[in-house]
Amino acid sequence: MASLVSPTATALRFRHSTPNLIWSISRRNFAIKCNALFNHNLLTYNSIHLELEQSLSQFQHLAADLPEVEKWGLLVLAGVSWIYLTARPGVLVGAIDAYISAPLQAGVDALSGRRSLKRTDFLVGDRLGEGSFGIVYSGVVVPKNGIVDENLRSKSRRNRIDESFKDKVILKKVKIGVKGAVECGEFEEWFNYRLSRAAPETCAEFLGSFVADKTNTLFTKGEKWLVWKYEGDLDLGDYMKDRNFPLNLEALMFGRVLQGVESMERNALIIKQVMRQIITSLMKIHNTGIVHRDVKPSNLVVTKKGQIKLIDFGAATDLRIGKNYAPDRGLLDPDYCPPELYVMPEETPIPPPEPIAALLSPILWQLNSPDLFDMYSAGIVLLQMATPGLRTAAGLKNFNNELKGVGYDLNRWREKTRMRADLSILDLDSGRGWDLATKLVSERGVGVFKRGRLSAAAALRHPYFLLGADQAAAALSKFNFINQ
């Protein structure tokens, strides 16, 4: 990525202008002053301000001696350059993140100990699930200076850890000996750090990683473990397995049971609120140049506060710099994969070095719309939530086979399907939900002006979301709760 600012010079100038903050590190209240010193927003703002001020001064000095025509030409060039550098996926913002925010985050984490986690910092609890490249466990943080009997770490006594320790975590063990697992774990760690800076509200809070220093019944020396703050026990797929879905999410989504709303409309409002959160999160990560590539119910955790957050970024790719992207490789779940199979056309060349890839990324993004890969998967999630028959593995498989047979045209599928699909929820409000589904579960389209599938930003402007009935219901529910 082309460096638009000089991080070294910026850091020196900022340090020179804030001697009190530097000096205060030696005080006893190190942790508090450290937070002040390395506050991301403050440092980023001051660094950018200094660079822009210097650049503007130099620009004005040079422009003063130019003829009028050349001044206008220079102004137009500056305007076009600004538009290009700020166009999605954000060359300028990406440069600031890579050369300022990322080093600052690494410095803060190093001082706070987040980059030096150890096996003994955690007690591992129950096994929650397993994927191709990793195994997920619940766990807790061992308090600082706490001494834990090794027997407590044994499987027979792990069920007691919640009684003694309060800070819960989720741990993921990256498998050793599985082809691609180590690489996938490294990518997942990178993407979690990246999103913790660019869009922290879209994913679970990432605490860091550690490498096991010994081998026992649970750990293997040399294996990497990733750690997240505990957000919730269940993902969207777990809730969808319940016969009471989506009503089992009503209290989480709206704070309480909706009053004065018929059962089917309640179901529709809950699903709409979930979809709004999913697509909003996708829009935010797409704006950073990241495509998740594995959007499905099991990768959407439902937090205790009713937030839907994306997890498992092992298959994600950052198409601003070509991170975790290979033209002929697709890491995907066939049940949720769009018909194009790959996030970019197969003839797309291998990414060049990161600075060049970053400069070319707005053109590549505009021509290929890689974000639409995730939007197809989001459309399948919408259909599953609204159609009970698609929530089972067999039902979803039959649906995908039929859909492929009609050229991924949902309207044709509806006319010809042999499945007894209940689409009544999608048909509410003059079929706005169904119309959105047809614009997500479809062919991607070809070219700049021929788009067959909606982007996340366009989907949020669809009439299905535009009236905000789910938001109004949430506000009204809270208002009634206050009055009572």
Supply the residues annotated as catalytic: 294
Alpha carbon distance 330, 100 (integer Å)? 32
User: Which residue, among 139, 110, 117, has the nearest Cα to 126 in the 3D structure?
Assistant: 139
**9 Cβ partners below 8 Å, 6+ apart?**
none
Residue 235 phi, psi dihedral angles, 5° rounding = -100, 175
In the chain, % helix, strand, coil (3-state, to 5) comes to: 55, 10, 35
User: Which residue, among 335, 341, 414, has the nearest Cα to 379 in the 3D structure?
Assistant: 335
β-partners of residue 2 are none
DSSP H stretches of helix in 288-392: 354-368, 372-386
Does residue 7 contact residue 48 with C-beta atoms inside 8 Å? no
β-partners of residue 235 are 301
Q: How many other CB atoms are found less than 10 A from the CB of residue 171? A: 23
Dihedral of the alpha carbons of 416, 421, 422, 424, in degrees to the nearest 10:
-40
Q: State the DSSP string of 207-248.
A: EEEEE--S-SSS--TT-EEEEEE---S-BHHHHHTSTTTTGG
Does residue 436 contact residue 271 with C-beta atoms inside 8 Å? no
Rounded to an integer, what is the distance from CA 8 to the centroid of its chain? Answer: 30
Q: How many other CB atoms are found less than 10 A from the CB of residue 295? A: 25
Does residue 314 contact residue 331 with C-beta atoms inside 8 Å? yes
Q: Is 114 helix (H, G, I), strand (E, B) or coil?
A: coil
Does residue 313 contact residue 191 with C-beta atoms inside 8 Å? yes
Does residue 370 contact residue 332 with C-beta atoms inside 8 Å? no
Rounded to an integer, what is the distance from CA 313 to the centroid of its chain? Answer: 8
Alpha carbon distance 186, 314 (integer Å)? 8
